[in-house]
Amino acid sequence: MTSQPMVADQETRTPTPSAWWARLPWLRIGIVLAAVVAAIVLAYLRSGSTVVVTQAVVTGILIGGVYGLVAMGLTLIFGVLDIVNFAHGSFLAIALFLSYYLVAGMGMHPYLALLIVLPAMFLLGALVQRFVLAGAMGKPLENQLLITLGISLVIENSLLLFFGANPRSVSLPGDQGVAILGAVAELSRILAFVGALVLAGLLFLLLRRTSLGTAIRAVAANDAGAQMVGIDTRWIYMLTFAIGTACAGAAGVLVAPLVTIEPVTGALFNIIAFVVVVLGGMGNVVGALLGGLVVGLAEQLGALLLPGQSPLLVVFIVFVLVLLLRPQGLFGRSGS
Amino acid sequence: MTTTTQPAAATKALPKLPWSRHLLVTAVLAVVLIPLPMLLDPAAEAVAIRVLLFAIMSISWNIMSGFGGLFSFGHAAFFGIGAYSTAWLQVEKGVSPWIGMAVGVVIAALFALVMGVLALRYKLKGAYFALVTLAFAEMLRLWATNSDLVNRAVGYHVPLRPEESWWWMQFAPDSANYFFIALGLMILGLLVSILFLRSRAGQFALAARDDDEASAALGIPVVRYKVLTMMVSAALMATAGTLYLQYYLFIDPDLAFGSAMSIQAILPAVIGGVATIWGPVIGAVVLGPLTDITATLLRNPPPFLDFLAGRGGLDVVVYGILLVIIILVLPKGIYGALRDRWSRR
Amino acid sequence: MSLLTVEGLSKSFKGLRAVDDVSFEVEQGAILGIIGPNGAGKTTAFNLIAGAIKPDAGTVTLDGKDITGHPPHKIAAAGMARTFQLMRPFYSMDVLQNVTVAVLAGGASEKSARDQAAGIIERIGLSQWRDSPTEGLPTAALKRLELARALAIKPRVLLLDEVLAGLVPAEREPVLGLLEELRTQDGVTLVFVEHIMAAVMRLSDSVLVLNLGQVLTQGSPQEVTSDPRVIEAYLGEEPSA
């Protein structure tokens, strides 16, 4: 990405020294909540069944948490490295296959796979950044877009080449439906949601409460300035990309019991992650989590509102509307 | 200023413009390639047709994204519109694919018009613009997958005709006529891109790509010319959709509107040289045969690759590696790098 | 009637009044200099007049036609050209192509555009660089290219934003001569923002002083430079000779 803002905007960000919660855009959050409530009411009118709607809301929120985790990694990479990473979903696909082999091949518990997949994906991210992407830092947006596209082609099709296209699955021992708020959700879905929230919380603490996090945020805000105060930006770029990739990896492990594991599964998550990132505001980590919930709900309620159409269609309609009307994202601070 | 009255004789002659040279090369290319089917066996002719198809798609992408600077990640939208317009009219209404092609061209251009006005009216640039194009293509894919109007996920098979027919654009599988049609469309694409660039509109589009504020300050209606560039590009892409349908006789939503098709439009131009007339053609010549080379390799793999026998995907892995290497080593592409080397001498 | 009339022009950014109730008139063929300390709102005023930014209030009238808030390309087509303080050449084109595009934008035929462009380049004194890419051109050449492109659309009013900045004194003189000639031979009306006082003194019929977004005073160059308020506004930022 070039240093110019991608959206013509005369205003510049002025930091205000108030507490972070006071700076949250409460009005827009209110509007989004109102839109969600309206969608729920419409879905109820359309389907005429509370059970169906409740089920959709619960499922939407649960999967939305995972979308949020995937998108947090993507948005972090965008915010710090200014790279639109089209390979993010393919990293998730690698994590899916890794989980599959750890679980099906070595009999590991699906969630214990996290202990191996997380560091492995972190390392992979660091290597890819250091040896492939570093050469394109500061180059025009198109070059970086294309280079990550190239990486995603290599990963996705290597998976196809080595593992073939047959769908696989991971099953969680003792996975069963759990009654929750009048709906039923598989235990694996609930655990994926909880796991995503915990990891998102850890990431948030890492960014807010550690010196590494401070350095990362400094580079995101102004890399030249960060360099002047003695931060090694190349190191931060590498670590950030590694952390972002690890987020995709973690999400991969968490969703492994929920999805069909194929080389193309990553592409689906990639597109959704982009939608979430734009909704949350590119570079906005908290926004990504909220955006994930919105997309999860839009997908599930959309299926009720437009029966017979793909649930993703509604997600894309929301996406295009947000891109056109508010490209800085639903939850970005005004003018920034 | 004292130079004002200086006689014109003191100045150098204006440099020659490249257009006539480009047109000449195009003409030579057409003449040289026409007898090609006589020299090629059927398998090689299939490769040649794929090269031409790649080239048409990438020439189209290059007009919008190279010369226009509007990065498209959803060129499959225009391709699919061309393919589906032709298929629907032919299968459901019994209309000739030539007319289907014309209809597809018009619809694709109108689609580009709507997309462009929306995206540019709201001043989307860079990655945001690219994501909008991707979203539009995906929306078309999802719509086609679930719409009874266009046969849902099943897509369309072109009904086989008892005899060869130009009117129905259908010939024996190894007929040279497919090659001629593809060649004709690629030459058309080259002419479109050369003549467009030479025209006032094309020059304004280039200026708007380089600096839209400075262009507007000169009185150039920037949005109008950017949208026009998108429409020209979309129209050309739609013809590739028709050609694909008539040659492979089948289309479905994932093939027509999926991101693989968009990527196939991007890769040749990037590898050959973005924003150059010949880059897409050179890239297509490099990429087109790869699928067959890798497929042959995996049909009879060398011992150390034995475990890959019969697997797919190697061609795209090679595309991806090529893409990464080109971006890192030759960011101007093969043609761009060669041109720089020549002009430096 | 004056050719360009600006009345009550105002624009705020986040509560900061960048341009505040600015009014002035320029007669056909006159030269108006605009000066003021850094941050006085000169470039913002240009952007408002040329349509790059929409004003909050006020009107801009060109030859009796209200052009307030019109998009920049319409304002350019109506006969007002501008240059940019930071040079903005079309980077993929050489100097001749840059000017040719501008000539085309001014409505010339595709056939004659290149010859006209070559003529303008000759006149501006850019011949030496005519076939050079814009990348790597010296500042003096890029400044002239800005001017050449603006002239190529045959404007009636030309807004020049610090067209002398970055030029060494020896390079300024020919540009000043050219600007004077534009007025006398072509009848172009000039409005220019400039820091170099010698140039302002020499060219301007009238000088407008902006400070903190407001018009501090307007008058002949002599009146303005002897005005104690002007000197005070520049305090700590001595007008350069």
Find chain A residues with C-beta within 8 A of C14's C-beta: 11, 14, 335
Q: Which CATH architecture has domain C1-79+155-241?
A: 3-Layer(aba) Sandwich (3.40)
C13–A14 CB contact, under 8 Å? no
Contacts of C13 in chain A (CB under 8 A): 10-11
Separation CA C45–CA A24 (nearest Å): 34
Cβ distance B124 to A327 less than 8 Å, yes or no, reads yes
Q: β-strand B156-157 against B250-251: which pairing, if any?
A: antiparallel
Q: Is residue C79 within 8 Å of C159, Cβ to Cβ?
A: no
pLDDT for B294: 85
Across the interface, whether the CB atoms of C114 and B14 are under 8 A apart is answered yes
C81: pLDDT strictly greater than 90: yes
DSSP alpha helix (H) spans, chain C: 42-50, 72-77, 95-105, 110-124, 139-152, 169-186, 197-203, 221-226, 228-233
Residues 50-79 of C with CB under 8 A from B: 50, 52, 71-74, 76-77
| Rounded CA separation B232/B70 (Å) | 13
Distance between A307 CA and the closest CA of chain C, angstroms: 44
pLDDT tens figures, B184-215: 999 999 999 999 999 999 999 999 999 999 99
Task: Answer whether A142 touches C (CB < 8 Å).
Answer: no
Strand partners, B251: B156
> What's the rounded Cα separation, in Å, for the pair C150 and B210?
16
Cβ-based neighbour number of residue A300 at 10 Å: 25
Biggest CA pair distance of chain A: 61
Element (DSSP H or E) covering residue C138: none
Interface test with C, best of A10, A11, A334, A336 (most C CBs within 10 A): A10
What is the rounded distance in angstroms from the CA atom of residue A306 to the CA atom of residue A328? 28
| C102 reaches B (C-beta below 8 A) | yes
CA angle A255, A256, A262 (to 5 degrees): 115
- pLDDT by 10s per residue, chain A, length 336: 333 333 333 334 444 445 556 666 778 888 888 888 888 888 888 888 888 889 999 999 999 999 999 999 999 999 999 888 999 999 999 999 999 999 998 989 989 999 999 999 999 999 999 999 998 887 888 888 999 999 999 999 999 998 888 899 888 887 788 888 778 888 999 999 999 999 999 999 999 999 999 999 999 998 889 988 889 999 999 999 999 999 999 999 999 999 999 988 998 899 899 999 999 888 888 899 999 999 999 999 988 888 888 888 889 998 988 888 887 788 765 433
State percent of chain B over pLDDT 70: 96
- Looking at the partner chain, which of B73, B128, B328 has a beta carbon nearest the beta carbon of A327? B128
User: What is the three-class DSSP state of C131?
Assistant: coil
- Provide the token pair at A179: 């009654």
pLDDT of residue B120: 93
Count how many pairs of residues, chain A against chain C, have C-beta atoms within 8 Å: 6
Which of B121, B122, B131 is the best substitution to test chain A (most A C-beta atoms within 10 A)?
B131
| Number of residues assigned to chain A | 336
**A90 or C16: which carries more pLDDT confidence?**
A90
Residue C179 token pair: 């600007």
Nearest CA in chain A to C14: A11
Both tokens of residue C206?
Answer: 């009238």
Summarize pLDDT for C104-151 with one digit per residue, the tens.
999 999 889 999 999 999 999 899 999 999 998 998 899 999 999 999
The shortest CB-CB distance from A136 to any of B65, B266, B327 is to B327
Residue C127: list chain B partners with CB under 8 A.
Answer: 3, 11-12
Question: Quick one: how far is CA C87 from the chain centroid?
Answer: 12
Tell me if A327 and B122 make a contact (CB, 8 A cut-off): yes
Tell me which chain A residue has its CA closest to the CA of residue B141: A313
- Nearest-by-Cβ selection for A146 from B123, B125, B323: B323
Chain B residue closest in CA terms to C82 = B217
Neighboring chains of B (3 or more beta-carbon pairs < 8 A): A, C
Question: If you average pLDDT over residues C43-52, what whole number do you get?
Answer: 93
Chains that touch C (3 or more CB pairs under 8 A): A, B
Give the tens place of pLDDT for each residue, A29-72.
888 888 888 888 888 888 888 888 899 999 999 999 999 999 99
Contact check, Cβ <8 Å, C90/B217: no
With CB atoms and an 8 Å threshold, state whether C13 touches A10: yes
pLDDT digits (tens, 9 = 90+) for B136-152: 999 999 999 999 999 99
Residues whose CB falls within 8 Å of the CB of residue B61, separated by 6 or more in sequence, listed in order: B72, B75, B233, B237, B265, B266, B269, B280
Q: How far is CA C15 from CA A12, B333, C8, C44, in A?
A: 12, 48, 17, 15
Average pLDDT value for residue range B82-89: 98
Contact B71 A157 (CB under 8 A): no
Out of A10, A14, A335, the one facing C53 most closely (by C-beta) is A10
Asked if C178 is an interface residue toward chain B (Cβ–Cβ < 8 A), one would say yes
- The runs of H, that is alpha helices, within B94-221 are 97-121, 126-145, 176-198, 200-210, 212-217
A14–C14: do the CB atoms touch at under 8 Å? yes
Closest-CA distance, C53 to chain A, in angstroms, reads 9
Instruction: Report the DSSP pairing between strands C4-13 and A183-186.
Output: unpaired
Nearest CB to B319; choose among A145, A153, A308: A153
Three-state SS string over chain A comes to CCCCCCCCCCCCCCCCCCCHHHHCCHHHHHHHHHHHHHHHHHHHHHHCCHHHHHHHHHHHHHHHHHHHHHHHHHHHHHHHHCCCCCCHHHHHHHHHHHHHHHHHHCCCCCCCCHHHHHHHHHHHHHHHHHHCHHHHCCCCHHHHHHHHHHHHHHHHHHHHHHHCCCCECCCCCCCCEEEECCEEEEHHHHHHHHHHHHHHHHHHHHHHHCHHHHHHHHHHHCHHHHHHCCCCHHHHHHHHHHHHHHHHHHHHHHHCCCCCECCCHHHHHHHHHHHHHHHHCCCCHHHHHHHHHHHHHHHHHHHHHCCCCCHHHHHHHHHHHHHHHCCCCCCCCCCC
In angstroms, how far is the first alpha carbon of chain B from the final one?
A: 36
Please report the pLDDT score of residue A8 as a whole number: 36
Question: Given the structure tokens 């020209």, which residue do they identify?
Answer: B232
Q: Which residues in C lie closer than 8 A to residue A10 (C-beta atoms)?
A: 13, 53
CB contact under 8 A, C52 and B275: no
Other CB atoms closer than 10 Å to residue A162's CB: what's the count? 13
Looking at residue A3, its pLDDT comes to 39
Location of structure tokens 């639903």: A330
Share of chain B above pLDDT 90, in %: 80
The mean pLDDT value for B105-129 works out to 93
Average pLDDT over residues B310-325: 89
Q: What is the C-alpha separation between B250 and C104, in angstroms, rounded?
A: 46
Spell out which residues of chain B touch residue A282, defining contact as CB-CB under 8 Å.
127
Per-domain residue ranges of chain C:
1-79+155-241, 89-153
Residue of chain B whose Cα is closest to the Cα of A143: B327
Task: Tell me the sheet residues that pair with A111.
Answer: none
3-state SS class at B219 = coil
Contact check, Cβ <8 Å, C73/B219: yes
Size of interface A-B (CB pairs under 8 A): 138
Q: Which CATH architecture has domain B40-153+172-344?
A: Orthogonal Bundle (1.10)
**Is B284 in contact with B54 (CB distance < 8 Å)?**
yes
Cβ contact A11–C13 (<8 Å): yes
Tokens standing for residue A21: 């919660």
Å between B65 CA and nearest CA of chain A = 10
Please report the ipTM that was assigned to this predicted complex.
0.91
Which amino acid belongs to residue B248?
Answer: Y
Report helix angle C169-186 to C139-152, nearest 10. Answer: 10
Of C50, C72, C92, the CB nearest to B206: C92
Contact B142 A313 (CB under 8 A): yes
B3, B204, B216 member nearest C72 (Cβ): B216
User: What's the pLDDT at A330?
Assistant: 80
Q: Residue B19: CB partners within 8 Å, gap ≥ 6?
A: B194, B197, B198
Domains of chain A (ranges plus CATH)?
A: 25-325 (1.10.3470)
Residue type, B200: R
Tokens 């003529």 sit at which residue?
Answer: C119
Cβ neighbours of C53 in A, within 8 Å: 10
Backbone angles phi, psi at A174, to 5 degrees: 75, 20
Residue type for B258, please? G
Residues of chain C in contact with residue B209, where contact means CB-CB under 8 angstroms, are 92
A334 neighbourhood in chain C, CB within 8 Å = none
* pLDDT, averaged across chain C: 91
If you average pLDDT over every residue of chain B, what do you get? 92
Of C192, C229, C193, C191, which is closest to residue C211 (Cα–Cα)? C229
Q: Which two tokens stand for residue C21?
A: 């109730």
Tell me the two tokens of residue A212.
């590494």
- What separation in angstroms does the CA of A325 have from each of A36, A278, A321, B95, B168? 18, 12, 6, 40, 45
